[in-house]
Amino acid sequence: MLISNDKIHHSHGNGTFEIEDFKEIGENVIIEKGTLVFHPGRIKLHDNIYIGHYSILKGYYKNIMEIGEGTWIGQYCFLHSAGGLKIGKAVGIGPYVKILTSSHKEENNNIPVLHNPLEFKEVIIEDGVDIGIGSIILPGIKIGEGAIIGAGSVVTKDIPDAEIWYGNPARFHGKR
Please answer whether residues 62 and 40 qualify as being in contact, where contact means their C-beta atoms are separated by less than 8 angstroms: no
Catalytic site residue 173? no
SS3 assignment for 106-143: CCCCCCCHHHCCEEECCEEECCCCEECCCCEECCCCEE
End-to-end Cα separation, the chain, in angstroms: 49
d(CA 143, CA 169): 15
For strands 118-120 and 92-93, give the pairing. unpaired
d(CA 75, CA 91): 15
DSSP symbol at 168:
T
Choosing from 12, 104, 115, 173, the catalytic residue is 104
Backbone angles phi, psi at 41, to 5 degrees: -65, -5
Kindly list the catalytic residues: 104
